[in-house]
Amino acid sequence: MTTAIATQTTTFNVDKAHSEVTFQVRHLLTKVRGRFSDFEGTIEYDEDDTENSRVNVTIRAASIDTNERDRDNHLRSADFFDVEKHPTLTFASQAIARKGTAGFDLTGDLTIHGVTRAVTFDVNFLGKAKDPWGNERIAFEAEATINRKDYGLNWNAALETGGFLVGDEVKISLSVQAVPAKA
């Protein structure tokens, strides 16, 4: 006779005030950094068996901010995100694999500009703690590098000296604090 051991999964909501979604991409010779300011997400966290956890994130494409208004408007246009037709970027986890004591590979479906592709984030669990008001929090950092052209973000400008203005690789970084969802 086998006995099943019940595990408890807690649903956490991303705390937007203490989280960030950032990216960087080569522009000419240097890297331009930016962020998305409007996002939400849930983490169904199984503390005893993290590989049974799930993550879902939605980002409003129009909230892109590179600290340059004209560039941000261009990124919102049909040349890039086309926010009128594709207002959100989404991520839905499919698998989590432990790496070491606090690391994970988080693989899921990333949808940008209406194109969905599998991507794996390198995730570090930063811990679990109570804030000064007694609220439990969990925290993670995650990174992945994607090719923007895989998502139909093809606009570029040829340079007089050869090459192109905008790089293809985009490094995505997330720093997330999350709090238990209200019942």
Q: How far apart are CA 111 and CA 89, in angstroms?
A: 6
Whether 122 contacts 144, CB under 8 Å: yes
Give the pLDDT score at 52: 93
Q: What architecture is domain 9-180?
A: Beta Barrel (2.40)
Instruction: Name the 3-class secondary structure at 11.
Output: strand
Enter the pTM of the model.
0.88
Give the pLDDT score at 157: 52
Give the pLDDT score at 159: 47
Low-confidence spans in the chain with pLDDT less than 70: 1-7, 27-30, 155-166, 183
Per-domain residue ranges of the chain: 9-180
Extract long-range pairs of 17-21: CB within 8 Å, 24+ residues apart: 18/177, 19/174, 19/175, 19/176, 19/177, 19/178, 20/173, 20/174, 20/175, 21/57, 21/59, 21/172, 21/173, 21/174
Write the pLDDT tens digit of every residue in 124-143: 999 999 988 888 999 999 99
Give the pLDDT score at 168: 81
Give the pLDDT score at 32: 86
Q: What is the number of other CB atoms lying within 10 angstroms of the CB of residue 14?
A: 23
Give the pLDDT score at 71: 85
For residue 140 the two structure tokens come to 């993670």
